[in-house]
Amino acid sequence: MNNKYEIVVGLEVHAELSTKTKIFCGCKNEFGAEVNTNVCPVCMGLPGTLPVLNEKVVEYGIRMGHALNCTINRATKHDRKNYFYADLPKAYQTTQDDVPLCANGYLDILVGDETRRIGITRLHIEEDTAKLIHADEFGGTLIDFNRCGVPLIEIVSEPDMRSAEEAKVYLETLRTILLYLGISDAKMQEGSIRADVNVSVRPVGAKEYGVRVETKNVSSFSGVYNAIVYEANRQIEVLENGGELFQETRRWDDAAGKNVLMRSKEDAQDYRYFPEPDLLGYVIPEELVEKLKAELPELPVQKTLRYMNECGLSRADAETIALSKDKAFFFDACMATGKCGPKLLSNWVLGEITRVANERRCEISELPLTVENLVDMIALIENKTISNAAAKTVFEIIVDKDEKPADIVKAKGLAQISDTSALQTIVDSVIAANEKAINDYKGGRTNVLGFLVGQCMKQSKGQGNPAMFKEMMIAAIENS
């Protein structure tokens, strides 16, 4: 990247909402159903049909608006955006134009060690389009209307991002918020989040924005990153070669890793917005707006900061937990018991527990593991009743069965031995059996100590306190 230039990025993110039904009809909103089965005259856009707005869509939109610190327009309405495209059966999309549901918000994101505030211009609700399936065997294109009328929110940011990395973090943060709020499946691979990326470049220090180019059809995190880097480089190259940039729309080709011109400014769409005459305006009760605000959970960035500042977790650990609703909710539930500390807990959540969940391809919340059993087990480690090695044995059991860790420790005799005389016997026998290692240690190769302690642990069948072994071993060798 040429460091004479600054990149300016704004994102338009579309997310499908996970309501039970579509936005304007009672057809099921589900991914992966057999083609054209979740359809009716309304979502097929047959002549004579009318939309009736789903109240849940409005509610979900307001939730997201609150999460993005927006003003909620309690009196709002819908508009038609007219254009011809094969996936749009009415030749207009029912969306919101001049009175979006939410406006003027912001989202704080963590980039490197910095908190960056990204302005949110607006958030509105609208309908998704049909899916076109290119099928040469039928000599054309097939239309599946299952997705047609699935509710979307569109979140438009200010041009406040200054790198591809920031845009990627912004998108990831948005995605996590959608999951936290439980309003979207937010699966990029299923197309439930899609982004249009606006990029411009300007000489470092310049006040005016450069010419903005929109790249459409970006549907992965890496795609957003790559699309921005590609477009910024393309623009810089044009400028460096003395060329001129045009306000145009380009299409991202993820497989090829490049974009191609879709529409020049001359062909810019004239959407001819006007108020949707099939719907009236509506006023959202203030109580509902307030209730939804009160129900807002702690959001990922706040969580990350809390984990760092109050729990003392590293930035990386804090973020990894907070960016996953599943991990974060489990972590918080454990912390809420007050029975264990955060550090060991975060190691377990990010280590063993995540490993098992990944192996089983499920969420932590779907494991039989209970919060109580886990925190009891960690408390046993923390008060040195059991070693980490013994804890693994306990974990293998409690991950599947609701058994009390204390009972398991008792039944299996896993409690750590801290009785000095019992440990001394083992230390002595290890010293006797490893003359060479002892000499090596005395000769300065102190790293054999680990091996010797390991031998002690082995003899104690894992029940010896490794710290005490280490201490006693050093004392014994030095005194010999």
Partner 1 sequence: MKIDIRHIAKLSKLSIPEDQIERFEKEMQSIIQLVENLPEIEGKATAVDTENTMELRADEVVASASREDMLMNAPQVAAGCIVMPKVVE
Partner 2 sequence: MDKLYSLSAKSMKELLDKKEVSSVEITKSVIERIEKTDKDVCAYNSYNFENALKNAAAIDEKRAKGETLGALAGIPLAVKDNIHVKGLKTTCSSRMLENFVAPFNATVTEKLNASDAIIVGKTTMDEFAMGSSGESSKLAVAKNPWDTSRIPGGSSSGSAVTVAASQVPFAMGTDTGGSIRMPAAYTGIVGLKPTYGTVSRYGIIPLASSFDQAGPMARNVDDLAMLFNAVCGRDKMDAVTKNYTFEGYGDSVKGMKIGVPKEYYGEGVQPAVKERVYAAIETLKCQGAEIIEISLPSTEYALAAYYIIQCAEAASNLGRYDGLRYGFRGSNTSNVEDLYLTTRSEGFGDEVKRRIMLGTCVLSSGYSDAYYKRAKLLQQNIAKEFTDAFKTCDVIITPSIALTAWKFGEKSGNPAEVYAADICTITLNIAGLPGMSVPCGFDSTNNMPVGFQVIGKKFRESDVLTVAKCYENAVGGFAVKEF
List residues near partner 1 by CB under 8 A: 19-21, 25-28, 34-41, 44, 46, 52-58, 75-77, 84, 86, 98-99, 132-136, 138-145, 251, 262, 270, 272, 275, 279-283
Taking CB within 5 to 8 Å according to partner kind, which of partner 2, partner 1, none is near residue 37?
partner 1
Angle (CA) 292-159-102 rounded to 5° is 20
Q: Of 10 and 51, which has the nearer Cβ to partner 2? A: 51
Taking CB within 5 to 8 Å according to partner kind, which of partner 1, partner 2, none is near residue 90?
partner 2
CB of 167 to partner 1, least distance (A): 25
Q: Which residues bind partner 2 (CB under 8 A)?
A: 41, 44-53, 80, 82, 84, 86, 89-92, 143, 270, 272-275, 277-280
Taking CB within 5 to 8 Å according to partner kind, which of partner 1, partner 2, none is near residue 138?
partner 1
CB of 52 to partner 1, least distance (A): 5
CB of 248 to partner 2, least distance (A): 17
Give the three-state DSSP class for 97: coil
d(CA 273, CA 32): 32
CB of 79 to partner 2, least distance (A): 11
Is 213 buried (19+), middle (13-18) or exposed (0-12) by CB count in 10 A?
buried
- C-beta neighbour count of 480 within 10 angstroms: 8
Tokens of 280: 């009236």
CB of 73 to partner 2, least distance (A): 19
- Among residues 149, 152, 151, 96, the alpha carbon closest in space to that of 121 is found at 96
CB of 262 to partner 2, least distance (A): 15
Q: Of 41 and 368, which has the nearer Cβ to partner 1? A: 41
Give the three-state DSSP class for 102: strand
CB of 260 to partner 2, least distance (A): 18
> Do 229 and 28 form a contact (C-beta atoms < 8 A)?
no
Residues ≥6 apart with Cβ < 8 Å to 198:
9, 10, 11, 12, 159, 212, 213, 214, 215
Taking CB within 5 to 8 Å according to partner kind, which of partner 2, partner 1, none is near residue 274?
partner 2
d(CA 386, CA 381): 5
Q: Of 84 and 138, which has the nearer Cβ to partner 2? A: 84
Tokens of 207: 């006040």
Taking CB within 5 to 8 Å according to partner kind, which of partner 1, partner 2, none is near residue 38?
partner 1
Q: Of 101 and 377, which has the nearer Cβ to partner 1? A: 101
Taking CB within 5 to 8 Å according to partner kind, which of partner 2, partner 1, none is near residue 55?
partner 1
First-to-last alpha carbon distance for the chain, in angstroms, is 64
Tokens of 281: 């305006």
Element (H, E) at 143: strand 140-144
